[in-house]
Structures are given as C-alpha cells and as structure tokens.
C-alpha cells in the first residue's frame, strides 16, 4: 500500500528534475548544484516533499535528514524542511 503513496511523490519530484532513490519508507533526493537556481530547485523539492507528506497525513523525520555535499566545492546553501534547517554532512570523493 505504501508503494502506491510513494509512487505519486516520485513522479511529482521527477517533474521538477529532481532525482530520487526510494527504499521502503526512506526517500533520498539529489541534484547536482552548479548555481543558486539549482539550490532553489532542491528547496522547492523539499517543500513539495513536506506538502505531500502533510496531504497524506504522513510525517517527515526531519531529525534524520541532512544535506550531503559530495565533492570538493563548498556548499553554502541552507536547505530546510517545514522550516527546520537541515544539517550539512561532507563527503570528499
């Protein structure tokens, strides 16, 4: 039953050019950020995720969320879900 719910979210985010990975009840959103417009698209995706969860009366475990920066370029983008700022993790490739 959950797959039916989550499939709608996957299609919604893909319409905005956001790549996603789904596993059980976990969702990973990702996007290569080259400029401020890309960061804005990712924030829109996070807002859509939050709105979708509210619509389906589901909760997002914001305390288990973070922003993962992969690479050497610094990530100076502040992203949030439902008004809660997401902590940043760093991974050097």
User: What's the pLDDT score for residue 93?
Assistant: 57
User: What's the pLDDT score for residue 46?
Assistant: 95
**67 vs 23, more confident:** 67
Which residues of the chain form beta strands (DSSP E)? 19-23, 26-30, 67-70, 80-81, 84-85, 88-91
User: What's the pLDDT score for residue 80?
Assistant: 95
Instruction: Give the tens place of pLDDT for each residue, 56-80.
Output: 898 899 999 999 888 777 778 899 9
pTM over 0.75: yes
- Taking the C-alpha atoms of residue 14 and residue 29, their distance in angstroms, rounded to an integer, is 10
- Across 76-87, average pLDDT: 91
């Amino acid at each position: 039953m959950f797959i039916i719910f989550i499939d709608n979210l996957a299609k919604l985010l893909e319409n905005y050019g956001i790549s996603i990975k789904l596993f059980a009840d976990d969702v990973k959103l990702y996007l290569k950020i080259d400029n401020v417009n890309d960061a804005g698209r990712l924030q829109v995706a996070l807002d859509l995720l939050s709105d979708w969860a509210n619509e389906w009366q589901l909760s997002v475990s914001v305390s288990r969320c973070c922003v993962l920066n992969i690479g050497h370029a610094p990530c100076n983008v502040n992203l949030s879900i439902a008004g809660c700022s997401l902590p940043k993790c760093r991974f050097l490739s």
